Amino acid sequence: MTRTARAFTNIALIKYWGKKNKQWKLPYTNSLSLTLDRFYTDTKLTIIDSDKDIVSLNHKILNDQENKRILNYLDTVRKLYSFEDHFQVDTVNHVPTSAGFASSASGFAALAGAINETKQLNLNRQELSILARNGSGSASRSIYGGFVEWIAGDSNETSFAKPIDETPKIDLVLLSVVINQQSKKISSTNGMENSVKTSPFYPNWVTLVASELQEIKQAIAKKDLQKIGEIAEHNAMSMHALTLSANPSFTYFAPETIRIIQIVKELRQKGIFAYATIDAGPNVKIICTKESLEKVQTYIEQQLSNVNTVIANIGSGIQYI
């Protein structure tokens, strides 16, 4: 049996920041994302007659160290679904590091999809979202297209994403501004854990997310672009306030991150639609409209010499190819 699944990456507008259960990757709060069309992972799975899995990434066989996270995941899945087969996993990532997105969301969503198909588990999308979440929390959201909410839940069976609007007729485009810098020093897993354990503000983050989720869902229903942008920007900055107030304090911001935040404000002062969101790294993703996109891109390229910009539109859920 050989099957290939394709899953797209997503950008969280209401961030996932903090696990209440590490083993099952259960978050403290719901989160809400937009699936993107530009960055995706294709994962081909073949059942092999072996007691070891073989994994290739971008046509290069990985060693056990590089593989560790995927091998652990496959062990978990074998236990959960009571089978013994081993796989050849051939993954091609169309999420270049230079685009400023993590590949774990699209990667584990594609892998979950490929397992479901290859092993004919007949999972529905909710079950598939759970399977993807077992690999990476944000992968639970990449099962669906458009706007997606991940319900925190309180057990493996109750923590999954669900679609809010899979094909929204909404004029939003994402511009990723990528800073040329070495990779982040604090993984999002460690960053979350430090924030949960040591930020005096974490309890209020949980309350904040609950109210901003309600607000952004109303704004999505009304297609209120400005409101969506405002809430997303505030939510992201509040997440970064958790890192700054962790003890010891840390930040994912690079000097250029601050400059891009300034630029986004300057653009709004000029009447150009632009809102910033930032994940666990120095790059800034700017929420634009089709109309503002070119102005935003031009202004950024004028102001900053050492960045790349990449455009992404709203994308769809998992596909089988």
Binding site for a second copy (CB under 8 A): 199-201, 203-205, 207-208, 230, 233-234, 237-238, 240-242, 244-245, 247-249, 251, 253-259, 261
Closest CB 236 distance from a second copy, rounded Å: 8
Nearest to 267 by CA among 307, 227, 300: 300
Closer residue to a second copy in complex, CB, 142/257: 257
Rg (CA), the chain: 19
Q: Are 159 and 31 in contact (CB under 8 A)?
A: no
Closer residue to a second copy in complex, CB, 65/183: 183
Q: How far apart are CA 73 and CA 52, in angstroms?
A: 13
Closer residue to a second copy in complex, CB, 255/271: 255
Q: How far apart are CA 45 and CA 280, in angstroms?
A: 30
Closest CB 241 distance from a second copy, rounded Å: 4
Closest CB 34 distance from a second copy, rounded Å: 20
Closer residue to a second copy in complex, CB, 128/236: 236
Closer residue to a second copy in complex, CB, 128/267: 267
Alpha-helical (H) ranges within 119-244 are 125-133, 188-198, 202-221, 225-244
Closer residue to a second copy in complex, CB, 151/244: 244
Closest CB 159 distance from a second copy, rounded Å: 24
Closest CB 218 distance from a second copy, rounded Å: 16
Q: How far apart are CA 172 and CA 198, in angstroms?
A: 36
Closest CB 258 distance from a second copy, rounded Å: 5
CA dihedral 254, 292, 145, 26 (to 10 degrees): 30
Cβ within 8 Å of residue 115, ≥6 positions away: 45, 77, 87, 121, 131
Closest CB 248 distance from a second copy, rounded Å: 7
Cβ within 8 Å of residue 314, ≥6 positions away: 34, 35, 36, 37, 145, 146, 167, 168, 170, 172
Closer residue to a second copy in complex, CB, 81/201: 201
Q: Are 281 and 184 in contact (CB under 8 A)?
A: yes
